[in-house]
Amino acid sequence: MLHKYLEIASTPAVKGARQHYGSAGQYARIDGTLDPGAPPRNHLLGPEEEAFIARSDAFYLASVSETGWPYLQFRGGPIGFLKVLDSKTLGFADYRGNRQYITTGNVAGNDRVSLFLMDYAHQRRLKIFGHMHVADATADTALAARLSVPGHDARVERAVTIAIVAFDWNCPQHITPRFSEAELAEWLEPVKARLTFLEDENRRLKHRLGQGPV
């Protein structure tokens, strides 16, 4: 079955590099080279991808300018601000920022983008190829409202949708674990509970020994 993401990424130059470094045979088994007529996979989001995206509060977004220069942008927001509209479409509300509009300008000429979603705490990453469309919020108020995050009071200027072409999961190798404040709080909760129990037990023992109040 054709691996859609690798089919796109495996240009002649990339295949030449694999040949040079000895991995051509390994990737020929999964990038469709040996079975070009097979149906694609890794092009429709499933439950695992949808759940991963729903938990994300940030991603990296790459586009290419009309002069051929790549541009990589960090996008962050409340958990779930990047929304799965269906198995082949993502969307997010674009709020006012530094007003450079580099990504917006890039996709006006070339709508191909690449998304990189990281979960540092669990050492997971998801890569996505897609076509990005940007619409003024006033031009599609229904979509802008659908992409808005409840309780987030920033004004939506644009509604962004990304038609997914393919995705791929990366291996966890070399991902240094990092934790957000919320993730640390969750991981430390059992430790805090244990400390509270030990402190209570210590007070009870001191009371029995006549060394202090309960």
Render pLDDT for 177-212 as a digit per residue (tens, 0 to 9). 777 777 777 778 888 888 888 888 888 888 788 765
Task: Write out pLDDT tens, residues 75-92.
Answer: 999 999 999 999 999 999
Residue 84 in tokens: 């799965």
DSSP state for residue 171 in the 8-state scheme? P
What's residue 96's pLDDT? 80
Mean pLDDT throughout 6-27?
Answer: 92
Q: Is the pLDDT reported for residue 27 higher than 60?
A: yes
What is the C-alpha separation between 46 and 118, in angstroms, rounded?
A: 18
Task: Write out pLDDT tens, residues 83-136.
Answer: 999 999 999 999 887 889 999 999 999 999 999 999 888 889 999 999 999 999
Residue type, 179: F
On whether the CB atoms of residues 64 and 26 are closer than 8 A, the answer is no
- Least Cα distance to 62 among 110, 121, 8, 99 occurs for 110
The residue to which tokens 């977004």 are assigned: 61
What is the C-alpha separation between 10 and 22, in angstroms, rounded?
A: 15
Residue 58: in which H helix or E strand, if any?
strand 58-64
Residue type, 11: T
What is the C-alpha separation between 108 and 81, in angstroms, rounded?
A: 23
Backbone angles phi, psi at 16, to 5 degrees: -65, -40
The separation between the first and the last C-alpha atoms of the chain, rounded to the nearest angstrom, is: 68
What's residue 213's pLDDT? 61
Task: Write out pLDDT tens, residues 37-87.
Answer: 778 889 999 999 999 999 999 999 999 999 999 999 999 999 999 999 999
Residue 16 burial by Cβ neighbours in a 10 Å radius (0-12, 13-18, 19+): exposed
